[in-house]
A and B are shown apart, each in its own frame.
Chain A
């Protein structure tokens, strides 16, 4: 059975032609974009502040995390980074594979002594200023693996920690709260007192 054509090819082409001609007729004048207010606004936009405030603001609102996810807490970090919890609100959605481009190490997982030199090296390769969040029980103290012969009992044995986020694993809300605490910590640093 053949389907009846409502329009012939000829009719379709004519309809298209009419549409284009009407659009041309309507588009003879440039749509205005008034920008007179821009100059005036720029004049009002001069801000006076301290170097500390600007520097701390810049540092805390674009923390770029470094890959350091040896174990399962990494999945909670991924959830935190993904759309539901969305850490791109804090300017930190770009997780860097190179430690030289990162500011923040989120240590998400159990660390073994065999892996420890690599984590130390990644930390050393990060440029100052840099911060570390110990995420989860293993990162804080070795967790349930603390008494094992091969597990580092807490990252603070090898690198300095700024914020501890407890949990096994911590919920994304907890990690987010830890990040907010780190923001507060960063906003209290001063160039005259040194970063650390």
Chain B
């Protein structure tokens, strides 16, 4: 089975290079600042020993006060995994940086989150609806939808 890396250990390692990036570290997850997501993701992918070259999935959660986007990473080389979380407090116009430039697998899943939760991903090459049809009103996965 894939080993979940300790969030605290990775946080310490990242902290040396990006001192402001990590807000909180969990048992197997890291809560990051949105503005430092891209540089940390790039670092996790390219640093020898971490090599998070594979993105299992992206998903997003509506916590009423904020949206949380969750990135599950894996390293095929070392068979270990890590979860990144980023929060977005703006409900009117939620925006986060896109990680398509780092993991191509993020493409469709960012479009799905854009479609169902209305979070825009800056820098996405093709941010269009993917599941619902053009002209659909509202965002079905938001808590206020029903």
Contacts and interface: CB of A to CB of B under 8 A. Distances in A.
Interface residues of A, number: 4
Contacts of B145: 149
A34 to B, nearest CB: 70
Interface string B128-146: 0001110000001000010
A150 interface: yes
Interface residues of B, number: 5
A75 interface: no
A138 B146 CA distance: 21
B140 A113 contact: no
A178 B131 CA distance: 34
A114 B129 CA distance: 12
A16 B131 CA distance: 71
B129 to A, nearest CB: 10
Contacts of A149: 140, 145
Interface string A110-151: 000110000000000000000000000000000000000110
B137 to A, nearest CB: 9
A113 B133 CA distance: 9
A175 to B, nearest CB: 30
Interface string B92-131: 0000000000000000000000000000000000000001
Given A114-B131, A149-B140, 7 more contacts: A113-B133, A114-B132, A114-B133, A149-B145, A150-B131, A150-B132, A150-B140
9 contacts: A113-B133, A114-B131, A114-B132, A114-B133, A149-B140, A149-B145, A150-B131, A150-B132, A150-B140
Across the A-B interface, the 7 shortest Cβ-Cβ residue pairs: A149-B140, A114-B133, A150-B132, A113-B133, A114-B132, A150-B140, A114-B131
